[in-house]
Amino acid sequence: MSVESLRGRDLLSMADLSVDELRGLLDLAAAMKTGKVNLRCNKVLGLLFQKASTRTRVSFTVAMYQLGGQVIDLNSSVTQVGRGEPTIDTARVLDRYLDVLAIRTFEQQELETFASYAKIPVINALTDLEHPCQVLADLQTVKEQFGQLKGLTLTYVGDGNNMANSLMLGCALVGMNVRIAAPSGYEPDGAIAQQATEIAAGSEVLVTQDPVEAVKGAHVIYTDVWASMGQEDLAEGRLPIFQPYQVNDPLLSHADEQAIVLHCLPAHRGEEITDEVMEGSQSLVWDQAENRLHAQKALLACLLGASAI
């Protein structure tokens, strides 16, 4: 597994990983999930979350405990971060206390500034631009189902948000075709789309406004909420714009017969995805959610240089 090079590194974007490192991480996550590999590290993880979280918070916490480490929840309401302490000051102090830090915030630039002042590994636990840890779990789930990644097609339908951005990069790295279907004005980041196109070696990176065309023959159908955290006041106005992008049975009928459905959660059932699809036989949403634990445990083990038990 080509993961030794990850020790001491940051993960701020999917693009921070090489093809071999990403494949090695996925292999390690699968081995740790089945118990074939057990690793240990007596380290301390800090969680600096400025956005609400269920799966990310719990999965990182459980992962660190299972590795034999400790977790400190640095909630902004009970730290000086919430009172306006400069990012660069917080970064230099936490660097002297912690072994690794996961940050969940709004601006990617704030994350990058933090990482530039801290010597410990810094992990992007979600920004408005990217969500790389989720994509690690997504790719693990797809590989579990199909036994491979290269040559498969993943179609993301909905808002061209942080998930769309990270999925483009992640799929390009592993040789998957990736199609993003989003309404005009809601496309994913153009620079990241270009970066994904440059990374892709023989695979397709497509951004379109046509959800039916994007779904045709796809092996993975993926969606997310139509208004991300911080955009809740815009949600109602987006409903008529995004209605044609709902993942429902008619749309799913255009995909490959063996296609699976993924959603990073939380889901607004009846909006971006129907109950029937969410609870249907093609949905692997709960396996996907579980894999957040295994993928992040593998990531932490690599960044911290965990040793075998």
The answer to whether the bond into 266 is cis (omega within 30° of 0) is yes
CA distance 73 to 61: 9
Alpha-carbon 15 to chain mean position: 12
CA distance 164 to 187: 9
Q: Which entry of 41, 57, 133, 134 is annotated as an active-site residue?
A: 134
Q: Which entry of 23, 55, 57, 104 is annotated as an active-site residue?
A: 104
Q: Which entry of 57, 219, 263, 292 is annotated as an active-site residue?
A: 292
Active site residue 104: yes
Active site residue 131: yes
* Contact status, residue 160 vs residue 191, Cβ threshold 8 Å: no
Its sign, for the CA torsion 83, 57, 146, 255, is negative
Q: Is 25 helix (H, G, I), strand (E, B) or coil?
A: helix
Length of the chain, please? Answer: 309
Q: Which entry of 41, 133, 171, 264 is annotated as an active-site residue?
A: 264
Active site residue 134: yes
Residue showing tokens 């994350």: 111
> Token digits for 12?
């701020």
Active site residue 224: yes
> Token digits for 168?
């483009």
Residue type at position 24: G
CA angle 193-221-186, nearest 5°?
Answer: 40
- 216-246 burial by CB neighbour count: b if 16+ within 10 A, else e? eebbbbbbbbbbbbeeeeeeeebeeebeebb
Q: Which entry of 128, 145, 224, 302 is annotated as an active-site residue?
A: 224
**Ramachandran assignment for 78, one of left (phi > 0), alpha (psi -120 to 50 degrees), beta (any other):** alpha
Catalogue the active-site residues: 104, 131, 134, 224, 264, 292
